[in-house]
Chains A and B, each alone.
Chain A
Amino acid sequence: MLGGWTVLPEPVIITQSMLAFEPPLSIEQLELAARQIRQDIIFMIHTAGAGHPGGSLSAADIVTALYFRVMRVDPRNPQWPDRDRFILSKGHACPVWYAALAERGFFDRSHLATLRRLDSILQGHADMRKTPGVDMTVGSLGQGFSVGIGMALSGKLRHKDYHVYVIIGDGESQEGAIWEAAMAGAKWGLDNLTVILDNNGIQNDTFTRDVMPVEPLAEKWRAFRWNVIEIDGHNMQEIVLALESVKSIKDRPTIIIAGTVKGKGVSFMENVPAWHGTAPDNEQAAIALAEIARGLR
């Protein structure tokens, strides 16, 4: 039934582990959860035969920390008005979002095998009307961030204490609208908004520095009057500390610039531009799942 799994050596699969834990997870549990999410990503994209593994894997630790430790959400009530919001503005990486939502219990894991198929609840880029837990439809780069500005303004207007988390990419930072939103976040002092920049250094064509350099990012965001935190986006301790620290920042929004590795966790995908938007074949998927299970160092 789950075609992608059948080619794999049995012991490497970490199945169903996450539902055994009740959030918030410890750092060690989060690291294990992130491995599960990464396996789900490989499985989904391999099964679909298309998708974006590189940017999904680079964001996996951050998304895991958000859904299993930091964010206040209720999988049984995805539309809960007081929930924290999450927007994956770099929407092509939605397999990481779907994996986290499935593991968190928003929908059954069996849906993961339907990514990009006809009649699936899991569209090639996320659709809020089809997928439980998806707070905004994304896919056209540079828009999800602005949507987060709107959600945060609404929270302020209504004196709600929900927090809005948005993940953007370094390639996405070439969109002019990102900087429109950056100005707006500072103007309204949106301390209920946190942007995490998944700075994996690679975009669709090749390395970001070669396509259109976006650095120095920290200086840019400081100049836009944001609270800037720089972390290793694969160090769970640093991710959690950064995300939990933003609650004490008042009157300005925070950007966490997370240094990440595109394709993180799979040796042959790491830092290779070709894995931005290519699905692994059977053999590659088997190797990838085994490596993730072992945990690369």
Chain B
Amino acid sequence: MSAPNSRYNFVLPAIVADLGRENPFAGAHMEATRYSYAAALLELGELNPDVVVLDADVSKSMRTSDFARRFPERSFNFGIAEQNMMAAAAGMATTHLIPFASTYAVFASLRALDQIRNSIHYPRLNVKIAASHSGLTPGPDGVTHHGQEDLSILRAIANSTIVAPADSITAKQAVFAAAAWDGPVYLSFTRDPIPTLYGPDFPFRIGKAVVVREGSDATIIALRDLVAHALVAAERLAHEGLDVRVVDCHTLKPLDVPCVLQAARETGAIVTAEDNVIFGGLGSAVAEVLVENEPIPMQRIGVRDIFTESGPYLALLEKYGLSARHIVDATRQVIVRKRQR
């Protein structure tokens, strides 16, 4: 058997070294990806004069106010009026500007959904929707601010592209990739800091999932903030002698079907992990591919059919079944099911 570190691709060695510890990310650089988004916009603004940023009164929270200070003529604060902001972004895109419309996930995906469907995705206009406060990451704010359905909702819309990066490095890469992508892109960012997992060599490409840990007994396919927890789970399982692959599926749509099928064929068991409702998101997307092509044992980690509550982000993951511990349990179960076949 090879040394444990050789199982990992692109994950920072310091992160790998700490994955098995009691507090695995104690030494990690932590960054809320909403701030990575804002930082990327500053660079993008210098490079591309067509990039404009639209806000809905959360520009301080998302630090898009930095862009507003640097490029005041290309920054537009629409106030607490997300519907107007989204449709105005569509209008800007008809003139070949590249608007980044910034708000929280709940408001982007629900308050302005009609505009997102009819004025952005139906005419396939080049609008980038930047959604912060995804999943349970705005924990203490409570359910009204938890973006727990946005990935599922956006996936149902034709012409949609959905990217949910797992750390600060890939969040920045995603912003640049979105600007270069022809068509609408929904970008999902966290309110709370999450560990920076990767070095700058991460081969980020929209639609291309990345195997960040090799393994043969099962595969955990995760996105956004749960990729870190999936890595922790895989390391714990390694101590039990289980060799588990981890895939960072940062692009929910278009799903990297070849990567999913390869994992299914080579490992025979799959667990999906998403900080999102279990209906219609990553788990559903993977299940749809498996059931039609490669039916194998599979389990889903995600928010069940429930509204959660206020509380610290990590405590919510723990209470509602989304932590590394739960991913470990699900993976053990799915491997048992695989071996019973």
Contacts and interface: CB of A to CB of B under 8 A. Distances in A.
Interface of A: 81, 85, 127-129, 135-137, 139-140, 142-155, 157-158, 176-177, 180-181, 183-184, 188
A177 B86 CA distance: 11
Contact of A181 (B84, B89, B95): B84
A41 to B, nearest CB: 24
7 contacts: A85-B94, A127-B122, A140-B119, A142-B83, A145-B87, A150-B88, A180-B81
Interface in B161-198: none
A81 B50 CA distance: 15
B150 to A, nearest CB: 20
B30 interface: no
Chain B contact residues: helix, strand, loop or mixed: helix
Contacts of B83: 142-143, 146, 176-177, 180
B20 interface: no
A143 B81 contact: no
Interface stretch (B72-80, B132-140, B243-251, B283-291): B72-80
Given A128-B123, A146-B87, A183-B81, A155 B95 contact: yes
A137 to B, nearest CB: 4
B91 A127 contact: no
A154 B95 contact: yes
B160 to A, nearest CB: 16
B114 A140 contact: yes
Contacts, number: 105
Nearest to A166: B91
Contacts of B81: 177, 180, 183-184
In this complex, which of A129, A136, A152, A155 has the most chain B Cβ atoms within 10 angstroms of its Cβ? A136
Contacts of A180: 78-79, 81, 83-84
B73 A157 contact: yes
A130 to B, nearest CB: 10
B301 to A, nearest CB: 36
Given A81-B96, A140-B118, 7 more contacts: A143-B83, A146-B83, A146-B91, A154-B95, A157-B52, A180-B81, A180-B84
A129 B91 contact: no
B182 to A, nearest CB: 14
Interface in B43-83: 52, 73-74, 76, 78-79, 81, 83
Contact of B90 (A127, A136, A158): A136
Contacts of A85: 94
In this complex, which of B92, B97, B114 has the most chain A Cβ atoms within 10 angstroms of its Cβ? B92
Contact of B84 (A81, A128, A146, A158): A146
Interface string B87-129: 1111111111101000000000000001101110011100000
A81 B95 CA distance: 7
